[in-house]
Amino acid sequence: MTGKTILCGARIATQADEQTPYGLIDDGTLVMSGERIEWVGSKNDLPDEYSAIDAEDLDGRLVTPGLIDCHTHVIFGGDRAQEFEMRLNGAGYEEIARAGGGINSTVRATRDASLEQLIESAMPRVDALIAEGLTTIEIKSGYGLERETELNMLRAAREIGKQRPITVLTTYLGAHATPPEYKDRDDAYIEEVVIPTLHAAHSEGLVDAVDGFCEGIAFQSKQIARVFDAAKALNLPVKLHAEQLSNLGGAKLAASYDALSADHIEYLDEDGVVAMALAGTTGVILPGAFYTLRETQQPPVDLLRNHQVPMALATDCNPGSSPLTSLLLTMNMGCTLFRMTPEETLAGVTRNAARALGLKDRGVIAAGQRADLAIWDVKHPAELSYRIGFNPLHKRIFGGQA
């Protein structure tokens, strides 16, 4: 048999069997064929047909699905370290945004950057994520806020997917903020820039999903609905930055468009949770932004659990509210800040992150799935969430390739 690779002697957190914690298989064996997983199970059940193939012994190491960061803004110009200092001297995040800083200061730096510069400056952030076992990443636009720069951000995202062994999914976030040239003319910005640019990006094949920021400092529900209507007309899935700093009913709106996810959701109420449960919308928890902004309002993790809304977890890597490039630290924050369990945080960066991206071929370890794997020098999956600032990755496998 050629083209097959076997890993044995592994503890495999398949995430595929809801009855066993982590879907854990002790003394597991995994057969890969090309880009796919062909067989997974316990060593004793391995079919005879595979017995002649040499297996790589993992010596009891843990295997998980490759990690998935389902919400990032890794592409941007400049940085916002000065705003970090301003906030430490007492200025508020929303106050800085209203004074023309915040997202719009990154917009200026991003407009000034070439396509090559955008790729080059994002790469160390992407590489930091890869070094911790990332195999799939979502990357948003939203720091151009005019046609050419929005397109360039999405082109940069596609290019990053070609230059590294990862899958990149792109999200168009034209409705992130109103740029200075449209100050106080939000509706005109949506009609004249956001929607025409969506069409342009879509016809260049640059858009996998459409996002918006529904917030006092960004857009109201009515404006988001306008963007979502345009997305639906193009058959593109939607998602939303909702209930981050206040409750404008964003999650409910998103659910009414069958959104893949509602993200942030610190201020989400039970009404919104129920709407998400009915629509099958995933809740994306972003502890990096909560931590950086020193938020105190916790996302309603208990309500999400009670209503069986799947929870994903992501870095929200961005220069303003979450300069975070570690999914392991994100998992730790999910546990320590929000009392998520280590089992929930691992599902949050694998199975449920795949779900938040609408991907059915990854996020669990099962026959037929992509062979995107992370192999860790740990014995138990809880260790991934437990340690702070330590990277136990042994090896990463993307599409069957180490």
Number of C-beta neighbours around residue 147 at 10 A:
16
Considering the complex, what minimum distance in angstroms separates the CB of residue 95 from ligand DI6?
Answer: 13
Of 397, 393, 327, give the one whose Cα is nearest residue 70.
327
Q: Does 319 bind ligand DI6 (CB under 6 A)?
A: yes
The C-alpha atoms of residue 117 and residue 112 are separated, in whole angstroms, by 9
Residue spans of alpha helices (H) in 221-286: 221-233, 250-256, 270-279
In the shown chain, the binding pattern of residues 88 to 117 toward ligand DI6, with x for contact by CB under 6 A and - for none, equals --------------xx--x-----------
- As given in the structure block, the two tokens for residue 95 are 């106050």
- Span 347-386, contacts to ligand DI6 by CB under 6 A: none
Q: Say if CB 69 and CB 52 are below 8 A apart.
A: no
Q: Does 320 bind ligand DI6 (CB under 6 A)?
A: yes
Q: Does 125 bind ligand DI6 (CB under 6 A)?
A: no
Considering the complex, what minimum distance in angstroms separates the CB of residue 264 from ligand DI6?
Answer: 7
**Which one, 38 or 316, has the nearer CB to Fe ion?**
316
Considering the complex, what minimum distance in angstroms separates the CB of residue 215 from ligand DI6?
Answer: 7
Q: Does 243 bind Fe ion (CB under 5 A)?
A: no
3-state helix, strand, coil in the chain (%, to 5): 40, 20, 40
Considering the complex, what minimum distance in angstroms separates the CB of residue 194 from ligand DI6?
Answer: 14
Among 211, 295, 316, 344, binds Fe ion (CB under 5 A): 316
Q: Does 289 bind ligand DI6 (CB under 6 A)?
A: yes
- As given in the structure block, the two tokens for residue 22 are 């982590």
**Which one, 265 or 374, has the nearer CB to ligand DI6?**
265
- Span 162-191, contacts to ligand DI6 by CB under 6 A: 176
- Spatial strand order of the sheet with 67-69 comes to 67-69, 134-140, 167-175, 209-212
Considering the complex, what minimum distance in angstroms separates the CB of residue 83 from ligand DI6?
Answer: 8
Q: Does 37 bind ligand DI6 (CB under 6 A)?
A: no
The C-alpha atoms of residue 189 and residue 181 are separated, in whole angstroms, by 9
- Span 207-226, contacts to ligand DI6 by CB under 6 A: 213
Q: Does 241 bind ligand DI6 (CB under 6 A)?
A: yes
Chain residue whose CB lies nearest ligand DI6: 320
The C-alpha atoms of residue 265 and residue 300 are separated, in whole angstroms, by 8
The listed partner (Fe ion, ligand DI6, none) that binds 213, CB under 5 to 8 Å by sort, is ligand DI6
Considering the complex, what minimum distance in angstroms separates the CB of residue 283 from Fe ion?
Answer: 14
Q: Say if CB 291 and CB 269 are below 8 A apart.
A: no
- As given in the structure block, the two tokens for residue 339 are 């009392």
Q: List all residues 6 or more positions away from 19 whose beta carbon is below 8 Å from its beta carbon.
A: none
Stretch of residues binding ligand DI6 (CB under 6 A), selected from 147-155, 226-234, 311-319, 382-390: 311-319
Residue spans of alpha helices (H) in 144-185: 147-163
Stretch of residues binding Fe ion (CB under 5 A), selected from 17-25, 75-83, 176-184, 310-318: 310-318
Distances 72 to 153, 164, 170, 211 between C-alpha atoms, Å:
13, 17, 10, 12
**Which one, 272 or 288, has the nearer CB to ligand DI6?**
288
Q: What is the CA radius of gyration of the chain?
A: 21
Considering the complex, what minimum distance in angstroms separates the CB of residue 319 from ligand DI6?
Answer: 6
Q: Does 244 bind ligand DI6 (CB under 6 A)?
A: yes
Q: Say if CB 66 and CB 133 are below 8 A apart.
A: yes
* Chain residues that interact with Fe ion, rule: CB under 5 A: 316
